[in-house]
Structure 1
């Protein structure tokens, strides 16, 4: 028997929903505003010259006109504010420059140890931190606990050598016996060197040319010494 088709609903984030609601409200008010103008103009054009509009009534209508205009402008400003808060505007994010932001992203190694912030593994009984270069080649693997505590990679690679300066990717591989049961990306802290504007919102730039959307950041802290 054929199963009925199911349409997957679109899930909106709070900022997207707020922006949509503001835009809808603004569109409705703008429409009412234009209708009001049309009615007022028609009334003035068609009034009896011998019996002109009462001055008090006209004043009330002009006041209404002013209130509607202010409401339209207020809703336009609200749309702009919601759009800015959704992606993070440059003026507020400029304070992040020089600080360390935490996100799931590659990190630049230049000789100093890198502190990683893995989540508690979702499966498996043994867990390994895995370091790969940008070509995807594994250069280091070490056992870690399942408690989700920060892990430090000193830069050591296979053969006991120090890794070359460059950008590296980090993940946690979880095993049950010899079977790989889960692979999860790892969050790390890195210093923000630049904030850029993009069509999709603000973008943060880190050492080594690493770039991520500002919305991917889960924490910001003062930069560590060194």
Structure 2
């Protein structure tokens, strides 16, 4: 019921925005025609104004008017699509999922990943990048064998606090012999809640935040 109300409210807001834009355009267009008519009435009969120029102005204004109306319609479509996506995401609550955990969300000074080395890593370098692929931070530490949490406080390598948003991790690790080992970043667990504040719904699995687009499997049984 709450999702339906939210969707209806979003659609109503989008409709209200479109109506307001149309009213502003109508008012501006009327003002433009009034100025045009006034100019024509007060033109010098011995030196009349160029009607072709006025015609071109009318055509250009009509084109801008149509473009703005199209933009309003697109905004309304995007709003409705987001509401639909949010309503669908609520179906994940209580479900057991497996997701690609390379990407997570930084919020309130914390971003967390689940790292699972094949075996103990004497040295593992975690490289964190923003949504544009720019490296913002690197950390090096040892990792024990098995699943474990890695938390980043949002501090970049230069000491600045990174903005909230989506970040990804890449792990390069070696064991005591210097042999490279694979570190799995998949997230497995039950969805306890959903964050709908961003552009894409984010699922909360334990302490990990997983975008809906990263989900690979639903209802998989967790190994014990």
What TM-score, normalized to structure 2? 0.40
